[in-house]
Structure 1
Amino acid sequence: MNHDIQFLKELQNELKTQDNDCQASPRYWTVGDYEWVEVREENAERYSVYLPYIAEAYVLDDYLEGLKEDSELSKEALTELQEIEDDYDDVIEWIRKYIDEGAELIPERKVHIIQPDTMFLTKAEAKSHIKLNKHHYTSEAHTYAMTSWRAPKVERLLKILEMFDWSSITISK
């Protein structure tokens, strides 16, 4: 029991002294990150190319760079690629001609997401989670504060954790 009370005292201190990231109470932390999602062409920040014959998609610029460096393509095909690589319509036609006739361009945009199944009472715990689980996230993963809006039980619990006088408890042996 003493260990539990000591834990609650330390948690109380952390809750009272941690940065609130300009987020209203009751607050908790999650993992924020970014992912690329398919969008309409006019909203694209980049393109990926989908190659059905291998059922894989690649960031277009990286894919083209890899072809130039490691390609077994003819000089003629590589020269043709050099001439057209700034025109996406021509590039996809080139890929269909030399690589995969079913290839498709996918317009994409980077969006902020809140990773599912992440909820932490303290920012330090969220940071630790990201560090220990970085293989599940991008290099842009970060703590993200949120408010438990209109959640009276959560609000009451966090107030108790922050305000209760733990020294008033006597433990009988």
Structure 2
Amino acid sequence: QDNDGQAAPRFWTIGDYEWVEAREENAERYSVYLPYIAEAYVLDDYLEEIKEDSELSEEALTELKKDDLDDPIEWIQKYIDEEADLIPERKVHIVRPDTMFLTKAEAKTHIKLNKHHYTSEAHTYAMTAWRAPKVERLLNILETFDWDSIKDSQYNLQGVVK
């Protein structure tokens, strides 16, 4: 099978991306935190969504719909939540916890069957069990074992008694 550039012993996990708070100079986007409801929203999405809000005053909507809204946080603090704050964020790669697969195919199948738990950018991610001699020995046994030799035994390949 593919080794994805990893030395043996290797296994696969799920790689994905998430947005994390960042320094201002590293920001790729901003979210707005609204303390009165204890929620944060992606700033651009929030501003687009709120333009549809009929509960806002005509003055607030007119000011919001200007193409040259100088400081969106000032507008939000004036019309929505005076305690609102902007959060600079950047996207980082993560290895999803509690994922480990012996084959890349199994990891791909897991993503397909559980896509609702991941972003659309989820992918297989090969890792090496570095300096783990017992793991290396176990994976070597599993990779070289003649599985056909146990086909006629009382167990099928899923370990269920026939």
Which one of 94, 117, 139 corresponds to residue 98 of structure 2? 117
Rounded to whole Å, the distance in 2 between the matches of 1:45 and 1:110 is 7
Report matched runs for 1:16-27 at 5 Å: 18-27=1-10
Q: Structure 1 residues 84 and 101 mapped into 2: Cα distance closer, same or farther (>3 Å)?
A: farther
Task: Confirm whether residue 150 of structure 1 aligns to residue 131 of structure 2.
Answer: yes
- Residues 1:101 and 2:82 are matched in the alignment: yes
Question: TM-score, structure 1 length as denominator?
Answer: 0.80
Q: 1:58 Cα deviation (Å)?
A: 0.3
Higher helix share: 1
**What residue number does 1:9 align with?**
none
Counterpart selection for 1:64 from 33, 40, 47: 47
Q: Secondary structure at the match of 2:106?
A: helix
Name the CA distance, whole Å, in 1 between partners of 2:113 and 2:90. 28
Secondary structure of 1:61 counterpart: helix
- Give SS of 1:69's match: coil
Shift of 1:148: 0.5
- Structure 1 residues without counterparts, runs of 5 or longer: 1-17
Local SS of the residue matching 1:127: helix
Q: Aligned equivalents of 1:69 and 1:59: distance in 2?
A: 16
| TM-score (ref. length: structure 2) | 0.85
The CA deviation string for residues 111-170 of structure 1, in whole angstroms up to 9 with x for no partner, is 00000010000111111111111111111111100000000111111122223456778x
Q: How many residues align?
A: 153
Could you list the per-position Cα deviations for residues 79-104 of structure 1 after superposition, in whole angstroms to 9, with x for gaps in the alignment? 222347554xx211110110001101
The one-letter code of the counterpart of 2:55 is E
What secondary structure, in the 3-state scheme, does the structure 2 residue paired with 1:49 have?
Answer: strand
Give the letter for the 2:115 counterpart: K
C-alpha RMSD of matched pairs (Å): 2.2
Structure 1 residues 56 and 172 mapped into 2: Cα distance closer, same or farther (>3 Å)? Answer: closer
Deviation at 1:72, TM superposition (A): 2.4
Partner Cα separation in structure 2 for residue 168 and residue 74 of structure 1: 76
Q: Find the partner of 1:32 among 15, 18, 36.
A: 15
Identity over aligned residues, as a percent?
83
